[in-house]
Amino acid sequence: MRLGFLFLLTAIFPLHLFATHTFGGYISYKTQGNLSYEFTVTLIVDINSPGNLRNTIPIDYGDQSGIDTLLRDSLFQFRNNVYIARFKGTHNYTGHGSFTVSITDPNRFSGISNASNTSSQALYLETSLNTLWPNNSIKLFEPAHYFVRSDSTLDQTINLLAFDEDGDQLIYELIDSKRANNLVLSNYQKPSTATINKRSGSLHWSPIGIGFYLFTVKISEVRNSQIVSYTTVDFIVESDPQNYKHPSFVTGSFLSKDSCGVYSNTFQAGDTIRFFLNVLQKDTAHTSSPYYPINCFSGLDTTRSFCSFIYLGFNRYEIYFRWFTDSSDARCAPYPIYFRANEQYETEDFVYHVYVLDSSSTHCDTICDPTITSVDEIKSSPFSFEVYPNPTSNILNIDLGKNTLEGKLRLELINLHGQTIETRLFDSSSHGIRLRLQKLPTGIYFIRLMDEGDFISEKKILIIK
């Protein structure tokens, strides 16, 4: 009945009469257990549009259950006429499977410089969900809406400030912006000169003129070499002619970039991590304090981590970060620590990746590989093996079949945190191995096959008690 009514309204009245003038947004979810998930749709909206005072938004859970409705949970101001609207609701799936959750929301903000007729094209966002994986989607620490100078001759660095509470590695990719039915926006062009670091999510762009530029980033969650979920994020970068200068971060000699172009360091679980970072505020009109505070974002336990900043004079600020790590922090994926400095309208972000390892953090995947061209190509192998029964409660059989491998092989049983639970060495001439898993708790694990330290193939298994 709801769908028929919506169709009737759309048929009688032009779509632009219901324009919401949405700048962007994303979908997130949190598992509630027993195939139940709480969904949140976060939209960045123009509050001057009457459509953005609505109390509901339609959502498709991807399970053929029809279009449902989320209720508005909050509406608050971000900057000037830019507001953040959040809609929430819960959905129960009737069985396991892989689902694409999406919203189609009329209409986008008008006047976008790198697409045509955007006010008459719907905003399309999606996220993926596989109920076999105990997973929570990514979230953003702050709304994705940015301001840059139109006459900037240097790249400005902005970041979506994404985090994942499950500790998955995040991979970023610039993609085309979409409209209804997951189609590319009419005459959409990705902003020229824009690049994104796949591992840190840092977006570098030299503005090409005054205007509103639309970006879409696909953020994939990678766990033990497998993509467990992805989320698309739409956002606007406003390029204006104001004579403001964006702040800059000054790094010390202890910070250096790794092979992926990300500032990072590796520590052992139990170490106390301390470092300082300076911010040079170039807009002399705001020397006593930043127009918006300098912020730190990490999602870490606040009882063991601390971040603050002080004004040193001469337009310079010092940021101090400290984290007391313990054994529970060890994992393969890095902890992204974000720092954001703002002038009145300009934003500059800095990303620092902290790796915390222990003796069990062996053979952690490094997914920053120059040969990788797509997040779908993280790892592949022509060799495969079979595992059965799967799911299992006790015995797991591993069948190598007829293989052409030579020498000694190593088999590893790995949990969701990337920790190696068990290791077996055996000859490649073996046809199979049997594992007893009765002492392991319910959950998802991985069987990884290695050849003299090199990855060969991997299988996901589910233990149910």
CA distance linking residue 369 with residue 95, whole number of Å: 36
The label of the residue with tokens 């279009």 reads 67
CA distance linking residue 344 with residue 291, whole number of Å: 5
CA distance linking residue 78 with residue 159, whole number of Å: 17
Parallel, antiparallel, or unpaired: how do β-strands 226-240 and 67-79 relate? unpaired
CA distance linking residue 388 with residue 372, whole number of Å: 31
CA distance linking residue 240 with residue 55, whole number of Å: 32
Radius of gyration of the chain (CA): 24
Q: Identify the CA nearest to 463 among candidates 90, 134, 8.
A: 134
Parallel, antiparallel, or unpaired: how do β-strands 145-149 and 226-240 relate? parallel
Q: What is the spatial order of strands in the sheet that 248-250 belongs to? A: 248-250, 272-280, 316-324, 305-313
Q: Identify the CA nearest to 73 among candidates 102, 99, 39.
A: 39
In order, the DSSP letters of 70-123 are EEEEEEEEEETTEEEEEEEEEEE-SS--EEEEEEEES-BPS-BTTSSSGGGS-E
**Residues sharing a CB contact under 8 Å with residue 342, sequence separation 6 or more, in sequence order:** 247, 290, 291, 292, 293, 294, 348
Per-residue pLDDT for the chain (465 aa), expressed as one digit of tens each? 333 333 333 333 344 444 568 999 999 999 998 899 999 999 999 888 877 788 999 999 999 999 999 999 999 998 888 899 999 999 999 988 899 999 999 878 888 989 988 888 999 999 999 887 789 999 999 888 876 665 555 556 789 999 999 988 899 999 999 999 999 999 999 887 889 999 999 998 877 778 889 999 999 998 767 788 999 999 988 877 665 566 778 776 667 888 788 999 999 999 999 988 888 776 555 444 444 568 899 999 999 999 998 888 777 888 899 999 998 898 888 999 999 887 766 778 899 999 998 876 655 655 554 333 334 444 444 456 788 998 898 999 988 776 666 678 888 888 876 678 888 888 877 778 899 998 888 887 888 887 765 666 778 788 887
Q: pTM for this one?
A: 0.77
Residue 288, CB-side half-sphere exposure with 13 Å CA sphere: 0
Where do the domains of the chain lie, and which CATH numbers do they carry? 2-240 (2.60.40.10), 248-357 (2.60.40.10), 381-463 (2.60.40.3080)
